[in-house]
C-alpha cells in the first residue's frame, strides 16, 4: 500500500474514533485486547496483543490516540488479561461465539455474499432460540464489518464449557455427524429440529432421483460409497415405496433392510454431492473453529474493520431483515476522492450502484475508503488529505 493511501486511511479512521461513541464489552477488566495498526506493512497483519485495560476510559483513550485499523478483544475472561502468555492469564471462562462468514459459503459479488450470509445468520438465530433454548436477552448480533455476522451468547450456563462441549453445539448447528438411524427413528411433535430437516432433505433427494431416467438414477445410486450396481438397481425399483414411507411415516422405514441400509449409509458418509448439498442447505453454516476456540479474539462492536472501512455494527435480531451493511454500516460520506483502481468492478454503496473502470476515478469517500482498505485501489492525485 502506498504512503498516500496509508495516510488517507489513517486520517479517516482517526476522524471516526475522535467523534463517534464506542461500545465496551462486559467485564472489561477481564478481557485481553489486541490491535492491528496502519504501519508501513499494512494491510499485512502485525498484531499487538496481550493488552489489558482497567476502565472504559483507559481503553477508549488508547483507541482514540492510536486509531487502529483493527480492534479485537477476547471472548474469554481472564484473571490477568495483560499477561504475556496464555497460561499466565488464568482462563476464567468464555462467551459462546458463532462466526458466519460468506467466504466459507459462496464466492461472488460482495453484496450477494452479504445477502447469502444473512440467510445463514437467520437460521442460526432460530436454532439458538427455538431449538436450543437460549434466551434472546442473552444473545447479541453484530455485523462483522467484513463478510458476515458474529453471534455472542452470554449465557452463564455455557461460560465454562470447554472445546468439546462447544464442538457438540456447533456440530448440531451445522448438521455434522448425524446418525440416520437415530434421526429417522426419533418421533417428535415439534415442527423443528434435525429429525424434520433430515427427512425433508432425504425426501427431496428421493424426488430428485425419481426425476432421473432409469440409467442415470442407477448410476447416481451406485456412485455412493458401499453401494454396488445390484443394490442400486433394487433400490431404484423400490424407490416409490421408500419415498412413500419417508413422507408419511419415516419411523417405519426398515433400516435393517440391507438395500435401504446401504443406500442410507452411503448418503450419510457423503461429503459432497446432491444429498450433502440438500442437507447443508438446512444447516446454519457457521465457522466451526471459532465456536470451539475458548480463547478467541473477536472484533469490537462500534469499531471499524480495517479491511473494509465499515462499522462493526451491533443490531437487534429483529432488525436483521431490514439491515443493509452497505448503507447502515457505512460511516463515511460522499465527499469526492480520486482513486486509482487496480481492476474494473461494480458494487453498490450508500444506495447507489457504481460501475468503475480500471484507472483513475472520482468516487464518494465511503467507496474510496472501502476500495483502499480492500487493496483494490490507491489514492490518486494527492487526495490523501481530508478534513478533520
The three state secondary structure string of 204-215 is: HHHHHHHHCCHH
Q: Give the best-scoring range by mean pLDDT among 35-44, 45-54, 185-194, 363-372.
A: 363-372
Q: Are 291 and 386 part of one and the same domain? A: no
Domain count, the chain: 3
Could you give the percent of the chain with pLDDT greater than 90? 78
Is the domain of 158 the same as that of 16?
no
User: pLDDT digits over 28-86, tens only?
Assistant: 999 999 999 998 878 777 899 999 999 999 999 999 999 999 999 999 999 999 998 99
Q: Do residue 29 and residue 109 come from a single domain?
A: yes
Q: Collect all residues with Cβ–Cβ distance below 8 Å to 88 and sequence separation of at least 6.
A: 80
385 versus 218: which is more confidently predicted? 218
The pLDDT, as a whole number, for residue 189 is 67
Q: Are strands 139-143 and 148-153 parallel, antiparallel or unpaired?
A: antiparallel
Give the lowest-confidence range in 83-87, 97-101, 176-180, 298-302.
Answer: 176-180
Q: Domain of 137?
A: 21-116+133-162+287-328
Tell me, yes or no, whether 206 lies in a domain. yes
Distances in whole angstroms, Cα of residue 214 to Cα of each of 69, 232, 270: 58, 11, 22
Q: What is the DSSP letter of 271?
A: S
pLDDT at 230 over 50: yes
Answer yes or no: do 70 and 148 share one domain: yes
In a domain, 31, yes or no: yes
End-to-end CA distance of the chain: 22
Is 177 within the bounds of a domain? no
**Taking Cα atoms as reference points, which of 34, 27, 83, 14 lies closest to residue 56?**
27
Provide the pLDDT for residue 385. 41
pLDDT one-digit tens code per residue, 128-171: 999 999 999 999 999 999 999 999 999 999 999 999 999 999 99
pLDDT at 372: 95
* Residue 324 and residue 340 share a domain: no
Q: Does residue 224 sit in the same domain as residue 370?
A: no
- Of 384 and 107, which is predicted with more confidence? 107
Active site members: 99, 101, 287
Q: What are phi and psi of 96, to 5 degrees?
A: -90, 125
Same domain, 354 and 305: no
Residue 251: the pLDDT is 73
Mean pLDDT calculated for residue range 2-28:
95
Q: What pLDDT is stored for residue 250 in this prediction?
A: 77
Going by the DSSP 8-state scheme, the letter that residue 138 receives in this structure is G
Please say which residue of 279, 310, 344 terminates a domain.
279
Element (H, E) at 162: none
| Angle (deg, nearest 10), helices 239-248 and 229-237 | 60
Give the neighbor-by-neighbor strand order of the sheet with 359-364.
Answer: 359-364, 336-341, 377-379
Q: What is the CATH number of the domain that holds 364?
A: 3.40.5
Q: Are residues 224 and 100 in the same domain?
A: no
* Residue 378 near residue 372 (C-beta atoms within 8 A): yes
CATH number at residue 143: 3.90.920.10
From CA 357, how far away is CA 252, in angstroms rounded?
A: 61
The CA distances from residue 148 to 68, 141, 142, 314, 364, in Å, are 21, 11, 9, 12, 24
Residues 39 and 142 in one domain: yes
Contact 138, 125 (CB under 8 A): no
Cα 159 from Cα 170, distance rounded (Å)? 15
Stretch (H or E) spanning 336 = strand 336-341
Question: Which is more confident, 33 or 225?
Answer: 33
Distance of alpha carbon 194 from alpha carbon 183, whole angstroms: 7
**What confidence tier does 182 reach under pLDDT thresholds 50, 70, 90?**
confident
Average pLDDT, the chain: 91
Q: Other C-beta atoms within 10 Å of 204: how many? A: 16
> H helices of 103-238, where?
110-126, 163-174, 180-185, 194-211, 214-222, 229-237
The pLDDT tens digits of the residues spanning 245-281 come to 888 877 777 778 889 889 988 998 888 889 999 999 9
Q: What percent of the chain has pLDDT over 70?
A: 96
Contact residues for 156 (Cβ-Cβ < 8 A; gap 6+): none
Q: Are residues 30 and 13 in the same domain?
A: no
Q: Alpha-carbon distance 314 to 332, whole Å?
A: 18
Specify if 223 maps to a domain: yes
Residue at 99 is within a domain: yes
- Contact (Cβ atoms closer than 8 angstroms) between residue 38 and residue 9: yes
Helices 229-237 and 258-268 cross at an angle (nearest 10°) of 110
Supply the angle between the helices 56-66 and 3-19 in degrees, to the nearest 10: 150
Same domain, 295 and 151: yes
To the nearest 10°, report the CA torsion of 47, 85, 290, 176. 150
pLDDT tens, position by position, 292-309:
999 999 999 999 999 999
Q: How many Cβ atoms sit within 10 Å of the Cβ of residue 375?
A: 13
Q: Domain for residue 167, yes or no? A: no
For residue 388, the model assigns a pLDDT of 41
Note whether residue 52 is domain-resident. Answer: yes
Q: Residue 194 falls within a domain, yes or no?
A: no
Burial-class residue 104 by CB neighbours within 10 Å (0-12, 13-18, 19+). middle
Average pLDDT over residues 376-384: 75
| Cell numbers placing 120 | 445463514
Same domain, 344 and 321: no
Cell digits of residue 95: 462467551
Amino acid at each position: 500500500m502506498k504512503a498516500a493511501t496509508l495516510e488517507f486511511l489513517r486520517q479517516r479512521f482517526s476522524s471516526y474514533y475522535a467523534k463517534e461513541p464506542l461500545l465496551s464489552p462486559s467485564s472489561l477488566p477481564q478481557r485481553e485486547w489486541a490491535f492491528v495498526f496502519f504501519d508501513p506493512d499494512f494491510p499485512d497483519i502485525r498484531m499487538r496483543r496481550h493488552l489489558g485495560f482497567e476502565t472504559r476510559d483507559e481503553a477508549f483513550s488508547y483507541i482514540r490516540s492510536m486509531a487502529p485499523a483493527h480492534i479485537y478483544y477476547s471472548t474469554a475472561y481472564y484473571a490477568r488479561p495483560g499477561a504475556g502468555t496464555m497460561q499466565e492469564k488464568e482462563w476464567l471462562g468464555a462467551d459462546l461465539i458463532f462466526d458466519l462468514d460468506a467466504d466459507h459459503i459462496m464466492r461472488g459479488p460482495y453484496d450477494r455474499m452479504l445477502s447469502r450470509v444473512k440467510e445463514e445468520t437467520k437460521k442460526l438465530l432460530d436454532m439458538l432460540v427455538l431449538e436450543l433454548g437460549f434466551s434472546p436477552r442473552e444473545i447479541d448480533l453484530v455485523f462483522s464489518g467484513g463478510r458476515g455476522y458474529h453471534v455472542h451468547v452470554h449465557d452463564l450456563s455455557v461460560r465454562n464449557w470447554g472445546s468439546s462441549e462447544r464442538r457438540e453445539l456447533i456440530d448440531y448447528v451445522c448438521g455434522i455427524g448425524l446418525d440416520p438411524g437415530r434421526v429417522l427413528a426419533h418421533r417428535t411433535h415439534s415442527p423443528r429440529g434435525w429429525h424434520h430437516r433430515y427427512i425433508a432433505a432425504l425426501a427431496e433427494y428421493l424426488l430428485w432421483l425419481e426425476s432421473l431416467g432409469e440409467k442415470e438414477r442407477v448410476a447416481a445410486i451406485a456412485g455412493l460409497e458401499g453401494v454396488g450396481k445390484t443394490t442400486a438397481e433394487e433400490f431404484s425399483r423400490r424407490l416409490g415405496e421408500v419415498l412413500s414411507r419417508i413422507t408419511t411415516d419415516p419411523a417405519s422405514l426398515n433400516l435393517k433392510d440391507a438395500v435401504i441400509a446401504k443406500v442410507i449409509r452411503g448418503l450419510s458418509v457423503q461429503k459432497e454431492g446432491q444429498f450433502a448439498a440438500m442437507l447443508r442447505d438446512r444447516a446454519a453454516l457457521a465457522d466451526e473453529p471459532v465456536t470451539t476456540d475458548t480463547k478467541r479474539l473477536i472484533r469490537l462492536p462500534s469499531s471499524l474493520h480495517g479491511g473494509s472501512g465499515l462499522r462493526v455494527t451491533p443490531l437487534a435480531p429483529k432488525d436483521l431483515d431490514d439491515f443493509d451493511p452497505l448503507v447502515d454500516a457505512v460511516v463515511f460520506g460522499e465527499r469526492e476522492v480520486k482513486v486509482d483502481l487496480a481492476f474494473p468492478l461494480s458494487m453498490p454503496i450508500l444506495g447507489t450502484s457504481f460501475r468503475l473502470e480500471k484507472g483513475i476515478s472520482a468516487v464518494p469517500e465511503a467507496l474510496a475508503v472501502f476500495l483502499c482498505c480492500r487493496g483494490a485501489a490507491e489514492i490518486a492525485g494527492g487526495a490523501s488529505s481530508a478534513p478533520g
